[in-house]
Chains A and B, each alone.
Chain A
């Protein structure tokens, strides 16, 4: 600071008239330090999260090694843990959710950005945003008391009698189970898919549309050939962001999936997810190894969602160069 003052003298700049200038400079130092520290706090937090989780999972990693994600006993009494049924339940419920949510989500996004008359877009976007704001536990409540009974009394008997020859639709109709989990997850991730896809579609340059229309394409042909194809990687990114949400979703799923760590071909059967297992058993974990195994499940979930989300973001960016420039 002294040195800087000296330089100013040397260059014969006018003397500082205002005495607060020095406090200002102190203030600036402090200010820079403060904002830098706040930004670094996030870095410390994320690194801390990774280190803490790995340390807490170590006993389980040491005991079970690579077999942990590939064995299917979950026996707290015998102290033997394997996460295969949880991983299976997480993946199957998420994939089922995407099978429902992707066509609906992208269809709705196309409607919002290409088809709908301008006056109808804001109210629908508003409703979609509200759908995204509903908390997980409320979806779960609705799932338990409305969706599951409806599935049990109406949908599952109907599916069983028409498509019952498929192993997917066999077994007693409980209501709660994989199908309910997939449905509730689909409802929950659809707003995210719509929001991101819409942004991606809006980033498609209008020249694309105009060129196709000028060649005599109908609106749908324009959308299919000039817009959707152009936006392909961004849309895949949107789907992956939805997948990331679905994999980590906890409350709603655990309330309707039935919570049984079993692998069954039928969608009517109950299952269990990684997040659900942590939510239900964490406070009941009586031994250190039990707790450590649950943390390892969390660590696996963390790693998978980080990979899926990073991939998604790269795809959205690669396509939406325009989106990136506008927003950053």
Chain B
């Protein structure tokens, strides 16, 4: 009898945990369903080729915001990727005791800093001296967010490269920098690309740090020292505006943004699967 009760509790708890897992997945399905349902009708060729129309005129698109987001990601990558990859190599290869520990700790700290705070930082460091909102400031803010992610994944993957490979190359008399460049990094390439794609997926949707750096713009981009449009900013502006037509565009923008983000995560997955499924 007692065993029966215990077994019943066991079953009930197993069901409850399964229910919890189901309940967690439910919002994702709901969100995706609404995105497709509301957004698909507003996604058309105009959406990808036209500038936003003024209030009251129907139609128009978010082409400038899509281009803007790509430019911002490019700018952030120019700064964030080299620093992150080189720094990651340092963390993995350095034989110092203290400095790598400090850097690793700070990278984790920076990773946990709310993105809005990074926005304030970029505002004070880039926007105030230049006296204007600019694409550059937005790219800088995104680079700061990207840096710790790239740094830590690179470190982890460079560590996974077998020491024997490195030793074999060094034993041939090849200088260390060449060993890193020609042997270690190519071996870890798939994993590093994954880290890069993950970090891009993360910054592509960031809104808060762009509010007072990139600022947004209703026109095509006008150089790196001018405010620039970004997809998340445009979605935000349209979502809180009181016009139905803009709401539909916001849904469409969100659908496109999600597709961009999911496809970059998907690339990351495919790249990893080929090479590292065995290692991890």
A pairs with B: yes
Tell yes or no: B208 within 8 A of A by CB: yes
Q: Mark contacts of A130-161 with chain B using CB atoms, 8 A cut-off: 1 yes-contact digit, 0 otherwise.
A: 11011111111110111000000000000000
Stretch of A4-12, A81-89, A229-237, A304-312 that contacts chain B: A304-312
Contact of B207 with A136 in the complex, beta carbons under 8 Å: yes
Residues of A at under 8 Å CB distance from B? 18, 20-21, 23-25, 27-28, 30-32, 34-43, 45-46, 48-49, 52-53, 56, 103-108, 110-112, 114-116, 124, 127-131, 133-142, 144-146, 187, 190-191, 194, 218-221, 223, 241, 244, 247-251, 255, 275, 278-279, 282-283, 294-295, 298, 301-302, 305-306, 308-310, 313, 327-328
Known: A103-B20, A115-B14. A135 touches B205 (CB 8 A): yes
A328 to B92, CA, bound (A): 9
Tell yes or no: B161 within 8 A of A by CB: no
B121's partner among A32, A36, A53 (CB-CB below 8 A) is: A53
Known: A138-B205, A309-B108. A42 touches B173 (CB 8 A): no
Interface of A is mostly: helix
Interface residues of B in 177-211 (CB under 8 A from A): 177-178, 180, 201-202, 204-208, 211
Contact of B100 with A134 in the complex, beta carbons under 8 Å: no
Tell yes or no: B169 within 8 A of A by CB: no
B7's partner among A35, A134, A218 (CB-CB below 8 A) is: A218
Tell yes or no: B147 within 8 A of A by CB: yes
Contact of A111 with B21 in the complex, beta carbons under 8 Å: yes
Residues of B at under 8 Å CB distance from A? 6-7, 9-10, 13-14, 16-21, 23-25, 27-28, 30-31, 34-35, 38, 82-87, 89-91, 93-94, 99-100, 102-103, 106-110, 112-121, 123-125, 144, 147-148, 151, 156, 159, 173-178, 180, 201-202, 204-208, 211-212, 215, 232, 235-236, 239-240, 247, 250-251, 254, 257-258, 261-262, 265
Contact of A305 with B112 in the complex, beta carbons under 8 Å: yes
A244's partner among B16, B103, B112 (CB-CB below 8 A) is: B112
24 contacts across the A-B interface (CB closer than 8 A): A30-B177, A32-B176, A36-B94, A38-B84, A49-B118, A107-B20, A108-B21, A111-B14, A127-B28, A137-B236, A138-B258, A140-B236, A144-B240, A190-B24, A218-B10, A219-B14, A220-B13, A220-B14, A250-B114, A250-B116, A282-B120, A298-B116, A305-B114, A328-B159
